[in-house]
Amino acid sequence: MTPVTGHMIAVVGSSPGVGKSTLCRAIARRAAESGATVDHFEEADILSRPSFRPVAEEFADGTGSVRPATLVESTRDYVARSRAAGVDVLVTDALLPFIPSLVAWGHDESVIATVLADLEEAVRPTRVTVVYLRDDPDTALRRAVEREGPDWEDWYVTKLGDSPGTRSVKDLSSAAEHLRREEELTVRLLAGTDWHVLSVDVGRRDAARTEQYVRENLPDL
């Protein structure tokens, strides 16, 4: 891999259990081995990174949501800090473009499309590749429960059911139906951006084959 200054590789998925974190670790490791300066932004980092302190504070203020403008400005600050630090490759796990959170908080498609347009401006001139891992949600959710245990299932269903935009979720079956609709929305919205989108069907690939496919199809990796 030839280091490319300012390339954000945003790994997102159509469901929990599709292997986002595993792929992020592999991409970050490979980029670092090639000599690039890498920042691996793990999913939990949004609660501790300085740039996203406003996001964590808003989320914890009792509303359980964050204003879209706060997401945009925190992302802008994160990218600017990374650029100033000389980071070549930013690998983010379930960060940009925030569609599942925006849906859960009750925003409609037109608002989310506006947020994505604002995010596009916020990250310029950093190049963005969105790696979208896709799998049948019933299969992926079962995999997540097997990995995390039954307590995770209760937590996940309750989290969605308590959010304004996902109150229809009552069990894993309705969660899977919600995720199917969200996937359709995500594909439609990403197609309207100028980001490079690499869609990966993980249902036919294990982690090693997923990584291989991404290496073969991701620019500069």
What ranges do the domains of the chain cover?
A: 7-217
Per-residue model confidence (pLDDT) at position 41: 98
Mean pLDDT calculated for residue range 188-195: 97
Per-residue model confidence (pLDDT) at position 220: 72
| Residue 93, pLDDT above cutoff 90 | yes
H or E element in which residue 92 lies? strand 89-93
H or E element in which residue 203 lies? none
| Percent of the chain residues topping a pLDDT of 90 | 92
Domain 7-217 carries which CATH code? 3.40.50.300
Cis peptide before 97 (omega within 30 of 0): yes
The lowest-confidence range among 4-8, 70-74, 173-177 is 4-8
What DSSP character marks residue 16? T
Per-residue buried b or exposed e for 175-207, using 16+ beta carbons within 10 Å of the residue's own CB: bbebbeebbebbeebbeebebbbbebebeebee
| Residue 34, pLDDT above cutoff 70 | yes
Q: Which residue has the tokens 């740039």?
A: 51
